[in-house]
Every structure is written in structure tokens, then in C-alpha cells.
Amino acid sequence: MSRSIETLSRRFPGKRAIVTGAASGLGLEICKLLASGGWRIGLFDIQEQALEQAARLIREQGGTPITARVDVTNPQNLSQATREFAAQAGGVDLFVNNAGVAVGGTFLETPVEDWSWVVGINLMGVVHGCAAALPLLKQANQGVIINVASAAGFVSSPAMSAYNATKAAVISLSETLFGELLDSPIQVSVAMPAFFKTNLLDRLRAPKSEMESATLLMKYAEFTAEQAAEMILAGAAKGDFYIFVPPKLKTLWRFKRFLPLKYLKSFPRMRDKRIAALRAKN
């Protein structure tokens, strides 16, 4: 069991968590780490068959899975599943808004239908998750919400306008909640991971050229979903609000904060140079 799980378990001896998008990728890795500490975990996902397989893994890791087929775009569905988990587990200590999808392509290449799809899951899914979790956490006067955004929310990489916008909105929502809960014992954290090896591209909607670029960036990513999960939970255990994954992303964050126009002019060239190098390497 990792130090971060030990810390969270001491802080919340009830050890009750809900994770959306829990059946695969980053969500599943977060659940596996929590399971190693004996947590009861609400595995929420829209993929029923994958949920069954995930539940077996959680039991093998020492956790207690409580699965629910949940569509995060449906607030009633998510709220009901959250209340049912809380009734069965005796409450909620940690709620991770992780469910997400990806859209690539320039602004003019992105159909309005793809905007609606990605906004519904990446932004409104987090809104619905916070709305489901906060009343329970306020009632208990404790708890943690982790909103999984992305480095894309501040990097603002070209050809990812729809995805970038949703993740920037999640960062802003989290900052707003932080201020609203400033005098409360409820913690809000926002995770901003860069590219890591996961299955996010399985449902990617993008033109062929952007699909190829994203595939290259994923293939040569520096870390795995398991490592990303550990970094996110470690940040939450320390009480961090901004969780940079990996931590060196903070340098890029500061570059944009202090020199925004210089950053906006230089980053597209940095990205093109990186992709060209990966194509040559591939």
C-alpha cells in the first residue's frame, strides 16, 4: 500500500470512495490503489461488461467494489447512484470525477455534435458529479472531491479546441468551488495530467491527421495510467489543490501565467517540433 493511500485511510477511516469512469484507464488505476488500502469503492461507468471485470480486479486488490452503470450526462442517474452507494457504505469520503472523452481537430474541423458530446461528458459530467457529492460531504462535514481536468486546460494546444475548452472549464469550476468551500473542511483538488499511456484514444473523435498525432504522443508518453493515478492520489493526500501530473508541468503553467503572449506564440511551434521528432523516431 502506498504512502498516499495510508494517509487518506488515516484521514478517512470509513474508507469510502466513488470514481466515475472507473471501469478502465486512469479511473480503474485509481480504484486499484484505493483497493490496496481496503476501501469500499463505487465503480461508476457506462460500460457494464467492463465494470464486471473491474470489480473482480478490485476484489483481488483487497477492496470492496459496489458497481453501478452510470451515465454522467444524466444528473438523476448519477445522483441516485451516489445516494445508493452512500446508503450502502454509510457515507462518501472521496469523490473522483474522472469520466472523460477526447475530441481533436481544428475549430473549423470540429462538428457542433462533437462539441455537445465532449461538453456533456467532460464538463457537465463533472458538474453533475459535484452536485451529487457535495450535499453528502457537507452533511458529513468532511470529504474530498478530485476533479480530473487535463494539462490541455491550460496548455491550449492547437487542434484541440473542444477538448481544451472543457478541461479549462473544469479547472475554473474547481477554482470556484475552492473559494466557495474555503472555510469548510471539504477539500477540492483539480488534477491536470499531461499525455500518459491510457485508453482515452479508443473513443477519440478527430480527423485522421490529428488522430495520428495523438497516437504518437500517447505512444511515447513518459508515464503510465498507474503512475498518473499515484501522483493524483499523492497530491490529494497532501491537500494540494492544483495537482500537476507530472509535477514538472508546473513550469509550463508558470510560463503561461507570467508571459502569456510569449507562451501562446511559442507553444504551437514547440508542439510541432515535438510531433515532428516523434514521427522521425517512429
Which residues carry out catalysis? 163, 167
Contact 253, 149 (CB under 8 A): no
Nearest CA to 78 among 138, 9, 20? 20
Angle of CA points 203, 281, 248, to nearest 5°: 70
Identify the burial level of 102 via C-beta atoms within 10 angstroms of its C-beta, where 0-12 means exposed, 13-18 middle and 19 or more buried.
buried
